[in-house]
Chains A and B, each alone.
Chain A
């Protein structure tokens, strides 16, 4: 009421639904002939040719250069005097055969910088006996990575070198359903009495150990509680036994008092 009085108008004077609201004006020309100016697809002859697309220049970004066979990432030189570290660095997979499209010349300045000079495992004279692919605890965000790695593992990718040193163990064992997402793989290289785990594997192992520690704490607490319960139960059993002995003694007394001397003569 106050609002209507503020504008000097009564509520009954407002527009009703029956009156309706004035519709928006229609466009002056909204018929099929409005599109008659546009050419049909069949009419597009040489006269309506579009401008030719510009040719792609030789790609200069890094993503393309990764697939370029001229990209030589293997020219990483060994660290002087550190041969132990050489065995800890596994070789990566060999690049697949280049396609003709990928043979475009690439500017030299696109090659990634080599920060450290690292040796190849073979260069150190130590052959890596086997590469183990095992599973780790899955994190919710690792599903795509797991799918990708699983796909990579399923493809028979030729190995670098002689192909003797590394061995992939796949497929990975299936995790029971309901436990979590598909566990991604991590890489481990075994050499003699040592095992080289990548960081993901190491973190996963650390998590498993922490979880087992928590499990054992819980088990220890439960065992202590059960031990206390057993001690309590032993005391209660002893009390119950004494109670039963008292009942039996009293029954024997009643038996003797009632039936032995005066009564029915048992």
Chain B
């Protein structure tokens, strides 16, 4: 140990408690990840429903247009 190079250490108290909290943090992060996966699944389902709704609405629109055409432009007899 030479002059000017003596190591300086910082004391951190309650180390065991900090480590316990760190472990609980890990489990919380795992839980948060699982919840995020559920949210992702819900959003995917929602997107799928939106696509289906759009398809159904397009189909309804076509039928309404066909009905409108049938009612407004009857064949001449």
User: Which A residues lie at the B interface, using CB under 8 A?
Assistant: 62, 66, 73, 76, 88-90, 92, 112-113, 115, 118, 187, 189-190, 193-199, 201-202, 247, 251, 254, 258
Contacts and interface: CB of A to CB of B under 8 A. Distances in A.
Interface string B1-38: 11100111111111111100000000000000000000
Interface of B: 1-3, 6-18, 60, 64, 67, 71
Q: Which 9 A-B pairs have the closest CB atoms?
A: A196-B9, A195-B15, A202-B10, A112-B3, A195-B12, A88-B9, A197-B10, A199-B8, A198-B7
Dominant secondary structure at the A interface: mixed
B15 A113 contact: no
Given A73-B1, A193-B15, A254-B67, A199 B60 contact: no
Nearest to B63: A251
B13 A194 contact: yes
7 contacts: A92-B1, A189-B9, A193-B13, A193-B14, A193-B15, A196-B11, A251-B64
Contact of B60 (A89, A193, A247): A247
A109 to B, nearest CB: 14
B2 A112 contact: yes
A165 to B, nearest CB: 15
A96 B33 CA distance: 51
